[in-house]
Amino acid sequence: MLKFSDNKLKEVKKIIDRYPQGKQKSALIPLLHMAQSEFGGWLSPESMDYIASLLTIDPIEVYEVATFYSMYNLQPVGKHVFEVCQTGPCMLNGSDNIINYIKTKLNIGVGETTEDGLFTLKTVECLGACGYAPMMQLGDHYREHLTKEKVDAIIEECRGKE
């Protein structure tokens, strides 16, 4: 059975304490972030049920939230997820070329994962980096002013971590 570590459970308590008594459901979105990063980069039904039990809410209350927000992965993803912005300002600065380059380079389509399970390519809508376009999110950070060379370097960097 899935379970957070004791340290993480302390963090859970700290988060719940931010809200008035009885309003622990407010911790749902932060806890889903935590579950996703602790339990393999995606939200399985099992991990969502676990969060429901921690917050003493119904599982359906978790599912309806998890399916609403785009940052939650409801299917397994690769170890490194390239989330490339494709909205207007990034498009004006060549995001289409970057997306096509990644597709060719990794031999995957949008929404797909490489066979070795290392990379997933996603397109996303505006991430608030319009002045530094084109860009992608990789984990908790942004990679900006993307060029083909930069994409190559990022892929190598990820491979180097293996």
Partner 1 sequence: MAKKVLLEKAHIKGIRAYDVYKAQGGYASVEKALKMDPAAIVEEVKKSGLRGRGGAGFPTGMKWSFLAKPEGVPRYLVCNADESEPGTFKDRYLMEFLPHLLIEGLIVSSFALGSNSTYIYIRGEYAWIVNILEQAIEEAKQHGYLGKNILNTGFDCEIYVQRGAGAYICGEETALIESLEGKRGNPRIKPPFPAIKGLWDCPTVVNNVETIAAVVPIINMGGEEYAKIGVGRSTGTKLLSACGNINKPGVYEIDMTISVEEFIFSDEYCGGIPNGKRLKACIPGGSSVPILPANLLLKTAKGETRYMNYESLSDGGFATGSMMGSGGFIVLDEDQCIVRHTMSLARFYRHESCGQCSPCREGTGWMEKILTKIENGKGQSSDIDLLWDIQRKIEGNTICPLGDAAAWPVAAAIRHFRDEFEWHVNNPSLCLTENYGLAHYADELSIVS
Residue ranges binding partner 1 (CB under 8 A)? 18, 20, 23, 25-30, 32-33, 55, 57, 61, 64-65, 68-72, 86-89, 91-93, 124-133, 137, 140-142
Kindly state the tokens that stand for 11: 């963090």
Please check whether residue 35 is in contact with residue 54, taking contact to mean a CB–CB distance below 8 angstroms. no
Q: What are phi and psi of 94, to 5 degrees?
A: 90, 30
Question: Contact 120/159 with Cβ under 8 angstroms?
Answer: no
- Minimum distance from CB of 112 to partner 1 (Å)? 19
Nearer CB in complex with partner 1: 127/158: 127
For the purposes of burial, counting CB atoms within 10 Å of the CB of 121, is it exposed (0-12), middle (13-18) or buried (19 or more)? buried
Q: Are 84 and 92 in contact (CB under 8 A)?
A: no
Residue 29 CB, shortest distance to partner 1, in Å, is: 5
CB of 59 or CB of 114, closer to partner 1: 59
Minimum distance, C-beta of residue 34 to partner 1, in the bound complex (Å): 10
Least distance (Å) between residue 67 CB and partner 1? 8
Measured from the CB atom, the residue of 92 and 153 that comes closer to partner 1 is 92
Q: How many residues does the chain have?
A: 162
Q: Least distance in Å: CB of 159 to partner 1?
A: 23
- Which residues on neighbouring strands pair with residue 81, listed in sequence order? 120
> Whose Cβ is closer to partner 1: residue 9's or residue 92's?
92
- Choose between 117 and 131: whose C-beta lies nearer to partner 1: 131
Helix or strand (DSSP H, E) at 121 = strand 119-124
